């Protein structure tokens, strides 16, 4: 089972949604990096359930415990193990579904592959697995900030058909965190919240798009051919639960432009550094960062668990009507924001270490 990610900065997540705990082991973090549990907790608090009226009501504090790899608030260079205990697990709530395949979940495919599955909330397929990613991403974020002043910031760009007006080069964390939907456009945010609440009352769900900007990324990260920086970013983002699409820079809209319209002309700034006059490449050219902001977007489908009746089949192939119960997000976008940031930090940290190993 593919539970590990990264080459030099390597993370392995563990645990199931309604098991005893979830967590991560981070291998390859350099020694003497300042790190406290508070830095990890800050990002986990942005991901945790029950934080607003438009997220799942599951009540989990998601308190991080550092089990190894840190001493006197400094990393040791040895594997860092972090665990978060599940305190509000309710596996019995899923007992009626253990022989039923929920539409658009991983129930059928897990069973088809392994011949066994954890039906208690989805097991490893649950978005609760992302706790380990966010904890590891917080460590990677610290490494990026201390080593290269790199900043990674994500936000909700679209919910259903509502799209925010956002300039990635100017958006701030304060603007993102100013509302419960994590959209820096205040007018759009109010409309998004109302739309999500409407879907929740109807027993339905909504999807949308998270945009992410990575600032101060030095030129030279990433490798040609198979290990292109955008290829690893795409792999990381498409490994997230509910993700259905990835685009960078101009993305699919760039296909409607001509070459002269789409190319980013080179220039120099006041300090004589090579820059581009535009950024339709999204900060990456030829698979390697060019020093501009890296800007990409991730599409998330509507939450698969809804309370409306749905037609499906059971293990015996008999047609049944599923009336789902339990606690779920009517829209995953607000809680997906810190998860997207975490995966971006993991990719950039891995490539930063690889670049230093190759070029000093």
Residue 110: give its domain's CATH number. 3.60.150.10
Question: What tokens were used for 131?
Answer: 């706790």
Strands 288-289 and 284-285: antiparallel
d(CA 357, CA 223): 13
Of the two residues 304 and 190, the one the predictor is more confident about is 190
Range of the domain at 255: 4-359
Of the two residues 327 and 52, the one the predictor is more confident about is 52
Per-residue pLDDT, averaged over 213-229, amounts to 97
Q: Are 290 and 276 in contact (CB under 8 A)?
A: yes
| Number of structural domains found in the chain | 1
d(CA 222, CA 282): 14
Q: Are 320 and 100 in contact (CB under 8 A)?
A: yes
pLDDT score at 277: 96
How much of the chain, in percent, has pLDDT values that exceed 70? 97
pTM of the model: 0.95
């Amino acid at each position: 089972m593919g539970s590990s990610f990264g080459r030099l900065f390597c993370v392995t997540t563990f645990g199931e949604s309604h098991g005893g705990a979830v967590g991560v082991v981070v291998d390859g973090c350099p020694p003497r990096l300042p790190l406290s549990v508070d830095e990890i907790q800050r990002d986990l608090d942005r991901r945790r359930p029950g934080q607003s009226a438009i997220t799942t009501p599951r009540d989990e504090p998601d308190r991080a415990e550092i089990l190894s790899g840190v001493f006197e608030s400094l990393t040791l260079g040895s594997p860092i193990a972090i665990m978060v205990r599940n305190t509000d697990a309710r596996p019995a709530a899923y007992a009626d579904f253990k022989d039923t395949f929920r539409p658009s979940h991983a129930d059928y495919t897990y069973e088809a592959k392994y011949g066994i599955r954890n039906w208690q909330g989805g097991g490893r397929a649950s978005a609760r697995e992302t706790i380990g990613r966010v904890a590891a991403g917080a460590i990677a974020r610290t490494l990026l900030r201390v080593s290269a002043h790199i900043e990674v910031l994500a936000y909700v760009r679209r919910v259903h058909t509502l799209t925010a007006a956002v300039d990635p080069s100017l958006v701030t964390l304060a603007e993102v965190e100013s509302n419960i939907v994590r959209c820096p456009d205040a007018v759009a945010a109010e409309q998004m919240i109302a739309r999500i609440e409407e879907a929740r009352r109807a027993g339905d769900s909504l999807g949308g798009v998270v945009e992410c900007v990575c600032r101060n990324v030095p030129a030279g990260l990433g490798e040609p051919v198979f290990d292109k920086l955008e290829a690893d970013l795409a792999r990381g983002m498409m490994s997230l639960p509910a993700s259905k699409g990835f685009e960078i820079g101009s993305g699919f809209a760039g296909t409607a432009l001509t070459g002269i319209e789409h190319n980013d002309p080179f220039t120099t700034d006041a300090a004589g550094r090579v820059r581009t006059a535009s950024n339709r490449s999204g900060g990456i050219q030829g698979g390697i960062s060019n020093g501009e902001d890296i800007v990409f977007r991730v599409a998330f489908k509507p939450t698969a668990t809804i309370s409306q009746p749905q037609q499906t089949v059971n293990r015996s192939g008999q047609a049944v009507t599923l009336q789902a119960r339990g606690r779920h997000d009517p829209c995953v976008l607000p809680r997906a924001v810190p998860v997207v940031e975490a995966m971006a930090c993991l990719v950039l940290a891995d490539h930063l270490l690889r670049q230093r190993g190759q070029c000093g």
